[in-house]
């Protein structure tokens, strides 16, 4: 099989996972299978690949019959239940490659790309609310909040106002043209629609909520000494990973006599995380997608998992 994209920071992810013969490995974001195939080549005991996109599982169909691989059609936020269905409650290593995959962007009919015309869809799991459903029914304020908080779009209010005035919008080309007309040319030649498409995709797929659930699931599943590696491509994602590992490793700010800690500190469930890793100039030249990638990794302690965080809400982000 020829993978449609190059796995980002592959050598660094494998180094962080430190896989050993016999390990149980979970790839929470199977995609084209780059990480899972490389992990399998190290001689691990069994690999479990999760993806909510049926296209990803079909792309890796050659692995479906392997004795040492199990492919699971579920989002990684459901890892605990997904593995329990296979009588697995503890694993040695987990990797996440957060965000949209190259193969999803390259399929115009999926609606992720602002560079090709297609239905305004953007659903990774191909079920539930589409991007068109959202922008054609949400209030101007709701649309502006999504664009601003999930896309760092400073022109969010103007874009939301234009969307409401011009809807219904059903095609990616329609939305891209509208955003470009509102914002005008961008510095460095960056497409003006980039941030809006990113924000809508994150919202439609509840990507930050899934990330929170996935991190909590990894904490619950990893054995003492188990390794977690997370590659993210957006500041909101990386910030959540960074704060999760900071808090779980005991790095959160302590109370003081002026503001004492509200609760008794919990035992760290992870060792202090390694320094964040970013792609080298050589990798970026070979694979431009790596430009915005950040890898964060940490090792599980023997302490009990902390309570799972409350479900993600845009209201708490605002």
Which CATH number covers residue 136?
1.10.150.170
305 and 226 housed in the same domain: yes
271-288: pLDDT as tens digits? 999 999 999 999 999 988
186-212: pLDDT as tens digits? 888 889 999 999 999 999 999 999 999
Is the pLDDT reported for residue 257 higher than 60?
A: no
Q: At what angle do helices 194-204 and 140-151 cross, to 10 degrees?
A: 100
Q: In this predicted structure, which of 120-124, 238-242, 254-258, 282-286 has the lowest mean pLDDT? A: 254-258
182 and 216 housed in the same domain: no
Helix (H, G, I), strand (E, B) or coil at 199: helix
Q: What CA–CA distance (Å, rounded) separates 126 from 205? A: 10
Residue 174, pLDDT score? 97
Radius of gyration, alpha carbons of the chain: 20
Please check whether residue 252 lies inside any domain of the structure.
yes
87 and 218 housed in the same domain: yes
Of the candidates 11, 23, 200, the one whose C-alpha atom is nearest the C-alpha of residue 114 is: 200
- Mean pLDDT, residues 303-308 taken together: 94
Domain closes at, from 177, 204, 231: 204
Please check whether residue 114 lies inside any domain of the structure.
no
CB 9 within 8 A of CB 294: no
Q: What CA–CA distance (Å, rounded) separates 142 from 160? A: 8
135-188: pLDDT as tens digits? 999 999 999 999 999 999 999 999 999 999 999 999 999 999 999 999 999 888
Between β-strands 277-278 and 294-299, what pairing exists: parallel, antiparallel or unpaired?
antiparallel
Residue 2, pLDDT score? 42
Tell me how many domains the chain contains.
Answer: 2
Range of the domain at 37: 10-102+207-317
**Domain of 27: which CATH number?**
3.40.50.150
């Amino acid at each position: 099989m020829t993978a449609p994209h190059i796995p980002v920071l592959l050598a660094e992810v494998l180094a962080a996972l430190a896989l050993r013969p016999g390990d149980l490995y979970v790839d929470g974001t199977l995609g084209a299978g780059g990480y899972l195939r490389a992990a399998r080549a190290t001689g691990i005991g069994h690999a479990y690949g999760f993806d909510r996109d049926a296209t990803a599982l079909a792309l890796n169909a050659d692995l479906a019959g392997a004795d040492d691989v199990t492919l699971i059609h579920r989002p990684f936020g459901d890892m605990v239940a997904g593995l329990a269905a296979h009588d697995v409650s503890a694993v040695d290593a987990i990797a996440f490659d957060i965000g949209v995959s190259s193969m999803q962007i390259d399929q115009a009919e999926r609606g992720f790309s602002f560079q090709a015309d297609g239905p305004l869809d953007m659903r990774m799991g191909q079920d539930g609310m589409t991007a068109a459903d959202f922008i054609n029914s949400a209030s101007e304020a709701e649309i502006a909040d999504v664009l601003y908080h999930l896309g760092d779009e400073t022109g969010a209010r103007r874009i939301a106002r234009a969307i409401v005035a011009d809807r219904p919008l059903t095609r990616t080309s329609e939305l891209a043209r509208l955003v470009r007309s509102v914002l005008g040319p961008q510095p460095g030649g960056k497409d003006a629609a980039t941030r809006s498409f990113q924000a809508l995709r994150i919202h439609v797929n509840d990507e930050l909520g899934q990330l929170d659930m996935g991190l909590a699931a990894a904490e619950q599943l990893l054995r003492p000494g188990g390794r977690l590696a997370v590659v993210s491509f957006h500041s909101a994602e990386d910030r959540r990973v960074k704060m999760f590992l900071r808090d779980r490793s005991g790095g959160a700010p302590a109370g003081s006599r002026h503001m004492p800690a509200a609760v008794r500190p919990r035992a760290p469930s992870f060792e202090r995380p390694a320094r964040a890793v970013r792609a080298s100039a050589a990798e970026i030249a070979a694979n431009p997608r790596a430009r915005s990638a950040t890898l964060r990794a940490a090792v599980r302690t023997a302490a009990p998992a902390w309570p799972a965080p409350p479900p993600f809400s845009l209201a708490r982000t605002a």
